[in-house]
């Protein structure tokens, strides 16, 4: 790579423009998937990179290295698929839906769903675990109450990402301060200034939207059909709620996500034998291809036919394609050139925060990975924040306000693909209703321009020393 010249900005933009064109034509005109457009865009990026002097072997290694960064996410996706299949077969998800339909009312459902997901994600540190378990059940309850599915998905994702973002157990919550040079708990406290008002605004909007359903006359015929259909297929008992409780406890106890979720799959399989009298063949099929509901009641069958490792394979292929494109864009220096160009426009503190946030969103779109959207801008802007006498926790907050929160809003991003796959709702369908995820970056930019809570380096010196001594 020593003989590779630095790309010009127009050269760096060609793969981006190609990606936008390919995606627009394929998704909007032909209603296709993003995999092939991403591969063609990766081809264009590869050609442009080799034009700069990059060897294909080097680019290929970068692709493999980038894909390796997403392997944990891929494994979690597969296991979440088995968890959903096992928990439906065992009656766990049906029980959650059953009791939820009896307890939650339409008027408060959106607010309650968001708060429930906040609490679970805060306890587990994982938006994925929250959406793939509690979120699936809440989605079913919402459908039973007659609430628009994308709206429910938006509330689930908003709550899940609030908890994930604030939880010290979250990987991104630890990654952002590490990239910026801040302390973990300084970072968490500093995020509360932007994230808390963003959540309150989101809850107010969900509350207002819930009024639309508050006076709605419930379709008790449909609800009773759902309840009867669930009871016909499953033995329902509060004991069936034990698997998700145990998974949450395991994650809180800092058991790694993969073994913790796998324990949830095993518990689901055991409960399927004990409570639903299922055999090994039924369990294996549910884990692999998902549960198939055949009650003849369309609403029940649509609700419960899901899960299985195979249900995640399209999402996984999308991740691999996105990582291929992202790996080439990073190794060739295209991303760095674009970010440096943006930095030239950052003259004030507000514009620096704006550029940081736009860079994170841009990286989420181009690389398809939330970790890269934190790592790359974090490395790029760390020295600039120090040079402007801004405390590192300002940078780490901006990285999470944008990199973490906008990741599920990009259809080909690993987070967007996971949320869409787990909840069964298209990314662009729930995007307008994931209020926290796009309100928070706006609030962060406003704070940057107004100077609210933008701590100077000398203001945080004592705080940093205390934190260093405590660690």
- Residue-wise pLDDT for 109-158, tens only, equals 899 999 988 888 886 678 887 888 788 888 888 888 888 999 999 999 99
Inside any domain, residue 51: no
The reply to whether 108 falls in a domain is yes
Give every CB contact of residue 220 below 8 A, 6+ residues apart in sequence.
Answer: none
* pLDDT tens string 65-101: 988 877 877 887 788 889 889 999 999 888 887 887 7
CA 221-227-233 angle, 5° bins: 130
How do residues 449-466 score in pLDDT, each as one tens digit?
A: 999 999 998 755 444 433
Residue 443 lies in a domain: no
Distance CA 253, CA 124 (A): 9
Q: Kindly give, in sequence order, each residue whose CB lies less than 8 Å from that of residue 279, ignoring residues fewer than 6 positions away.
A: 273
Q: Could you report the per-residue pLDDT of 26-45, keeping only the tens digit for each?
A: 877 787 777 898 899 999 99
Angstrom distance (rounded) from CA 173 to CA 125:
9
Query: Is the separation of the CB atoms in 350 and 390 below 8 Å?
Result: no
DSSP string of 418-446, one letter each residue: HHHHHHT--HHHHGGG-HHHHHHHHHHHH
> Residue 334 domain-assigned?
no
Structure token digits, residue 202: 């989101």
Residues 6+ apart with CB under 8 A from 78: 309, 312, 316
What letter does residue 209 receive in the DSSP assignment? H
Residues constituting the chain: 471
Q: Determine the average pLDDT of the residues in 49-57.
A: 94
- Identify which of 10, 27, 357, 442 has the alpha carbon closest to the alpha carbon of residue 176: 357
The tokens 């989420």 sit on which residue?
364
pLDDT at position 217 is 65
Extract the tokens encoding 337. Answer: 């050139």
Tell me which residue range forms the domain holding 186: 71-312
Distance CA 356, CA 395 (A): 8
Is residue 65 a part of any domain in this protein? no
Share of the chain above pLDDT 70, in %: 94
- Which contiguous run of DSSP H or E holds residue 450? helix 435-450
Q: What is the rounded distance in angstroms from the CA atom of residue 105 to the CA atom of residue 139?
A: 14
Tokens of 244: 């998700």
- 325-361 tens-digit pLDDT: 888 988 999 988 887 887 788 889 999 999 999 989 9
Q: Can you tell me which residue has the tokens 């010196």?
A: 461
Q: Is residue 209 one of the residues assigned to a domain?
A: yes
Q: Does 140 fall in a domain?
A: yes
Tally of structural domains, the chain: 1
| pTM of the complete model | 0.74
In a domain, 384, yes or no: no
Compute the mean pLDDT over every residue in the chain, rounded to the nearest whole number.
86
Residue 214 makes CB contacts below 8 A (sequence gap 6+) with 105, 106, 107, 108
* pLDDT tens string 238-279: 999 899 888 878 866 778 878 888 999 999 999 999 999 999
Q: How far apart are the first and last CA of the chain?
A: 39
Helices and strands counted in the chain (H then E): 26, 0
């Amino acid at each position: 790579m020593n003989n590779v010249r630095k790309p010009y900005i127009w050269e760096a933009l060609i793969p981006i423009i190609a990606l936008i064109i390919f995606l627009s034509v394929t998704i909007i005109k032909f209603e296709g998937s993003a995999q092939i457009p991403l591969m063609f865009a990766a081809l264009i990026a590869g050609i442009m990179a080799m034009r700069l002097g990059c060897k294909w072997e080097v680019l290929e290694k970068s692709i493999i290295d980038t894909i390796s960064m997403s392997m944990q996410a891929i494994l979690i996706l597969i296991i979440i698929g088995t968890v959903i299949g096992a928990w439906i077969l065992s009656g766990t998800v049906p029980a959650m839906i059953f009791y939820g339909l009896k307890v939650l009312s339409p008027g408060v459902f959106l607010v309650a769903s968001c708060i429930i997901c906040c609490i679970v994600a805060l306890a587990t540190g994982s938006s994925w675990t929250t959406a793939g378990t509690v979120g699936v059940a809440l989605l079913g309850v919402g459908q039973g109450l007659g609430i628009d599915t994308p709206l429910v998905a938006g509330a689930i994702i908003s709550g899940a990402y609030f908890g994930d973002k604030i939880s010290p157990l979250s990987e991104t919550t630890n990654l952002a301060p590490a990239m910026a040079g801040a302390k973990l708990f300084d970072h968490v406290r500093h995020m509360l200034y932007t994230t808390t008002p963003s959540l309150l605004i989101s809850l107010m909007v969900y509350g207002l939207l819930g009024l639309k359903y508050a006076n709605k006359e419930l379709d008790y015929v449909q609800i009773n059909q759902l309840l009867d259909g669930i009871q016909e297929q499953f033995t329902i008992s509060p004991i069936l709620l034990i698997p998700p409780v145990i998974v949450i406890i395991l994650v809180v106890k800092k058991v790694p996500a993969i073994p913790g979720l796998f324990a949830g799959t095993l518990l689901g399989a055991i409960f399927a034998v004990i409570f639903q009298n299922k055999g090994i063949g039924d369990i294996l099929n549910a884990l692999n291809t998902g549960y198939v509901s055949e009650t003849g009641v369309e609403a029940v069958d649509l609700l419960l036919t899901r899960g299985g490792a195979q249900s995640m394979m399209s999402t996984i292929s999308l991740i691999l394609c996105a990582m291929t494109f992202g790996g080439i864009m990073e190794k060739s220096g295209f991303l760095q050139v674009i970010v440096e160009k943006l930095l030239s426009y950052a003259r004030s503190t507000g514009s620096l925060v704006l550029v940081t946030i736009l860079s994170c969103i841009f990286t989420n779109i181009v690389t398809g990975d939330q970790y890269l959207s934190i790592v790359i801008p974090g490395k790029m802007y760390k020295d600039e924040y120090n040079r402007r006498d801004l405390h590192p926790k300002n940078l780490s907050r901006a990285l999470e306000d944008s990199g973490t929160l906008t990741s599920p809003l990009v259809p080909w991003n690993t987070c967007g693909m996971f949320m869409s796959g787990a909840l069964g709702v298209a990314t662009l369908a729930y995007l307008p209703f994931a209020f926290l995820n796009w309100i928070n970056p706006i609030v962060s930019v406003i704070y940057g321009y107004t100077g609210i809570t933008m701590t100077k380096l000398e203001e945080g010196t004592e705080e940093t020393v205390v934190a260093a001594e405590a660690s």
